[in-house]
Amino acid sequence: MMRYLSARLAQQIDEELMSSAGAFSLDQLMELAGLACAQAVAAVYRKDVYPRVLICCGPGNQGGDGLVAARHLGMFGYQPTIYMPKPGSKVIYQRLQKQCENMKIPVLPPSNDVDDLRKALHDSDVILDAIFGFSFKPPIRFPFDTVLPLLNQSRLPIVSVDIPSGWDVEKGNDLGVGLQPNVLISLTAPKQGVKDYTGRHFLGGRFVPKSLEERFELHLPHYPDSAQIVELDSESSMHKY
C-alpha cells in the first residue's frame, strides 16, 4: 500500500533527504531526479518517432530537474529545446543551464511574448513539463497563466514531473486550470493530488534510504535492475492514503 504524500510530508521528506538521515546534496537529488525524468520520456516516446522534446522549466527546483533531464535527453540522442519564461536565480540553476548550453542545447530567450513558444511547440514532438513543483499554490500568475493554456492546446503529448503544473499537490486539478499530461513521473513518492490520475504513471528518484522509507511508511515498489524508474500499475494505484 504505497503512501501518497501531502505537501507537508513531501517537504519534510525532502528536508530529511538533505539532512544527516539522507546526507544528499541538492545537486545530487536534482541529478537523480532529472535522470529519472529523461528515462521516463525515453520509455514512452522513442527518439526515432518523437525526437524533438520541448522542456518547459519553472524558476524553482522543478525547473532544475528539467534542465538535468534536458542534458540527459541530449545524451540519449534526442533533440531537446529548453523554454524558461522565468529563469531561476540560484547559482545551482545557472550552472545547470550552462551545462545545457555547453552541450549546444537550444534555449529560448526569456520573454513575456509567447511567439517563440508557439513556434517551438510547432517544431516539437513531446513536452516535458517541469514548471511547478509540489510547493505550488493557485492562482497561476503571469506569464504562466498564458503558457499553460498554450501547452494544453498544442495537442502534443505531455510528460509532467512530480505533479502536473497548475495542480494543487493535495487537491489535484480541482480548478481545471492545470496541464493534462499523458505521462506523470512522480519523484520520491506520489502526491495526494494525483490519486485519480489515469495516464501512464512512473515513480522516479531511486534515492530514498530504507531507513526513511520505513520511518515514513512509504511502501515503495522495487525498481527493476538498474532502472531509475518503475511504472505504477493499476494495483498499486488502487492503494492510496
Is 64 labeled as ligand-binding?
A: yes
Q: Is 136 annotated as a binding residue?
A: yes
133 marked among binding-site residues:
yes
Length of the chain: 241
* Residue 142 annotated as lining a ligand binding site: no
- Is there a binding annotation on residue 149? no
- Distance, CA of 39 to CA of 162 (rounded, Å): 14
Determine whether the annotation assigns residue 138 to a binding site.
yes
Of 164, 157, 113, which is closest to residue 140 (Cα–Cα)?
A: 164
Ligand-binding site membership of 65 (annotated): yes
What gap in Å lies between CA 151 and CA 132, rounded to an integer? 14
Residue 63 marked ligand-binding: yes
**Residue 89 labelled as part of a binding site:** no
SS3 139: coil
28 is in an annotated binding site: no
Q: Which amino acid is at 3?
A: R
11 known member of a binding site: no
- What number of other Cβ atoms are within 10 A of residue 55's Cβ? 34
CA atoms within 13 A on the CB side of 121: 19
Angstrom distances, CA of residue 94 to CA of 37, 61, 90, 240? 20, 12, 6, 37
Q: Which three cell numbers stand for residue 116?
A: 517563440
Distances (CA, A) of 7 to 24, 76, 162: 20, 33, 12
Q: Is 129 annotated as a binding residue?
A: yes
Feature table: binding site: 61-65, 129, 133-139, 162, 165
Feature table: binding site for (6S)-NADPHX: 61-65, 133-139, 162
Feature table: binding site for K(+): 62, 129, 165
